Structure 1
Amino acid sequence: MPQRSLSLNRLKTVFILLVLIPLLNGCSKPHQPLPENAVILAFGDSLTEGYGVPKPASYPSVLQSLSGRKVVNAGVSGETTDQGLLRMQQLLAEQQFDLVILFEGGNDILQKRSYAQIEANLRKMIELLQAKKIQILLIGVPEKRLFSDSAPFYEKLAEHYDIPLQDEIVGDLVMRPSMKSDYVHLNRQGYQALAEAVFRKLQATGALAD
């Protein structure tokens, strides 16, 4: 093979490694597979509770059907992260969970609360869960502006604590009127789409089989 071709191939290999290594280092630690008797806690506010639809249409109920695992709906409408922190402490003292879907911060953002305080509360929740060796899936909430991605502290938390993050689905759904029942809440189709996105993420991280 000509020397020039060898050099080009080496350059291509180096380029690919330079691109892939940072991406691989940035990946969160995968989940451990959940046994069939696992209990998942869906923790959050009105979007977890399923505001606006019957309970069987809430995303935790749909996720339970998709996953074949028990999913506890621990959504409370209007809750902020400081309230959620206190409630999580109580829940963890009462019951054992294998995985927690942490979906909080939306009401704080709507109320224009300090990002530093929201992040601090979420940090404490994550640390409580990790101290009990409970697996976590973090769901990001978009900032209060048009075409917003998840608020930046969600990615920061996911990287710091090495936990999986689903940071696209909420921002996508709130921009689609066909998926919403009002300004901030989802309709039946929206909650179905949310559950399916969470299910796919849990499959991708290894918590659930493909």
Structure 2
Amino acid sequence: MQTLLKFRYFFIFCFLFSCADTPKKNNELETSDTSNTEVEKLTENKNKVILFFGDSLTAGYGLELEEAFPALIQNRLDSLNLNYTTLNSGLSGETTAGGLNRLNWVLNQKVDIFILELGANDGLRGIPLDQTRSNLQSIIDLVKKKNSNTKIILAGMQIPPNMGPEYTKEFRKIFPDLAAKNKIPLIPFLLENVAGIPNLNLEDGIHPTAEGHQIVMENVWKALEGIVK
């Protein structure tokens, strides 16, 4: 329970200090009375830290924080008696450019494992592919610069063909290309076995339900398990 409270406090702290202008949702307001003392207690935590850095998929849009896949990863770690604390730094509407802008603040604490889940909003908005690739590479570089021992995992993403087949194909290639270039583990497709399945997504057809997040958690765990064990 104490770990879960720390998880919730960090999420809200990240949200309140972000410069993003996305609308607040109910689950982001539940613990908005976070104090500096609570954040200090979090930074004193002696467990190794896994930081999930992403957009609304990481944030658990439309769900309780406990239902989003970072919290489910925490449950898995606890069940295996592994001394890790997961921190949810997902922000709805975030692009790779926005993530790069707020990264320095997020990295003020020590991070042992950094899971990078950004790019979907770039693709949905048709942002030039070279910009998305460059921003993701800059995020990876900055994480390494802050702490060369931090393990980085990159979450692969795919988008609907709205922007045309060529854009869609090249967008999908960004993630395995960057993983290979930087020699970091890749989650081939974060939403594998979830995307396009109506009963595993909310009414918007984009964001997973609680059941969908259970599957997303397993997709993430395949890449994470070998590192934490």
Q: Place the TM-score, normalised by the shorter chain, in its bin.
A: 0.7 to 0.9
Q: State the Cα deviation string for residues 138-179 of structure 1 (Å, max 9, x = none).
A: 001103328978710101100100000011342431122121
When Rg is computed on C-alpha atoms for both structures, the one with the higher figure is 1
The aligned amino acid for 1:91 is V
- Partner residue of 1:137? 153
**Hey, what's the Cα distance between the residues in 1 that align with 2:223 and 2:172?**
19
Deviation of 1:91 after TM superposition, in Å, equals 0.9
Taking a change above 3 Å as real, the CA distance of residues 171 and 195 of structure 1, as seen in their structure-2 partners, is closer
Greater mean deviation of Cα atoms: 153-162 or 178-187? 178-187
8 Å contact 1:55–1:61 — kept in the other structure? Answer: yes
- Counterparts of 1:193 and 1:97, CA distance in 2: 25
Q: Distance in 1 between matches of 2:101 and 2:190?
A: 27
Q: Which residue of 2 aligns with 1:207?
A: 227
Higher relative contact order (CA closer than 8 Å, sequence separation 6+): 1
Alpha-carbon contact 1:166-1:198 (below 8 Å) kept = yes
Alpha-carbon displacement from aligned partner over 1:83-135 (angstroms, at most 9, x marks no partner): 1001112111x211100110000111000111110000000000111222211
* Residues 1-210 of structure 1: pairs in structure 2 closer than 5 A: 37-68=47-78, 69-92=84-107, 94-131=108-145, 132-133=147-148, 134-145=150-161, 151-181=172-202, 182-203=204-225, 206-209=226-229
CA distance in 2, matches of 1:37, 1:91: 17
Paired letter, 2:179: A
- Percent sequence identity over matched residues? 33
For the 8 Å contact 1:141–1:171, the answer to whether it is kept is no
Match of 1:173, SS state, is coil
Q: Counterpart of 2:228 in 1: which secondary structure?
A: coil
What are the superposed Cα offsets for residues 56-96 of structure 1, whole Å, 9 maximum, x if unpaired? Answer: 1011111111123210000000011111001112111x211
Matched residues, number: 171
**Runs ≥4 residues deviating over 6 A:** 146-150
Distance 2:121 2:192 in 1: 15
Tell me which moved more, 187-196 or 170-179. 170-179
The question of whether the paired residues in 1 share the 8 Å contact of 2:193 and 2:215 is answered with: no
Q: Distance in 1 between matches of 2:189 and 2:120?
A: 14
Q: Aligned partners of 1:84 and 1:190: how far apart in 2?
A: 24
